[in-house]
């Protein structure tokens, strides 16, 4: 007798992403809001400790609070990047004339499915330290990926 059930819908592809998080406008407040949003809308797997760092580039601004998050998403990389920009906007991010200026939130994809995709990982201790911490805590490792 032929099967009358419909074919099973394949499960969406799950991606693991390491996000670098930085804020220096009401940093504790915006850090907590970012965690709340990302943990409720993504699969938050691990969070590094937040560290205070001096600004890079434009110096006449408050220190930054930096951290890394490991999340799971079904979005493709470009769609997830757009989603993170939308989260920044929800948290009040305004892009001013100074690229390295103050911000309520900066969310960048550093690694995608275990591959480094952001040169910042190699260039800045404030990115690499928290990323390495979140990876070690979750038992993950990184390989060199396709850098821009």
Active site residues: 93, 103, 106, 108
**C-alpha separations of 73 from 12, 32, 81, 105, 116 in Å:** 9, 20, 11, 20, 17
Helix/strand/coil for 75:
coil
78: its two tokens? 């470009």
What is the C-alpha to C-alpha distance for residues 110 and 124, in angstroms, rounded to an integer? 12
Is the Cα torsion angle 78, 84, 87, 93 positive or negative in sign? negative
Strand-pairing partners, residue 16, are 72
What is the C-alpha to C-alpha distance for residues 40 and 42, in angstroms, rounded to an integer? 6
């Amino acid at each position: 007798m032929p099967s009358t059930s419909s074919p099973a819908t394949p499960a969406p592809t799950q991606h693991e992403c390491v996000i670098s998080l930085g804020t220096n406008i009401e940093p504790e407040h915006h850090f907590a809001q970012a965690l709340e949003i990302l943990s409720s809308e993504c699969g938050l797997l691990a969070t590094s400790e937040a560290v205070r760092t001096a600004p890079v580039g434009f110096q006449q601004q408050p220190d930054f609070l930096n951290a890394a998050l490991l999340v799971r998403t079904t979005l493709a990389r470009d769609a997830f990047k757009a989603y993170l920009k939308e989260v920044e906007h929800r948290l009040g991010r305004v892009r001013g004339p100074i690229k390295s200026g103050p911000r309520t939130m900066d969310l960048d994809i550093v690694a995608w499915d275990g591959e480094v995709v952001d040169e910042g990982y190699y260039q800045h201790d404030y990115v690499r330290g928290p990323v390495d911490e979140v990876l070690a805590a979750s038992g993950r490792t990184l390989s060199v990926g396709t850098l821009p």
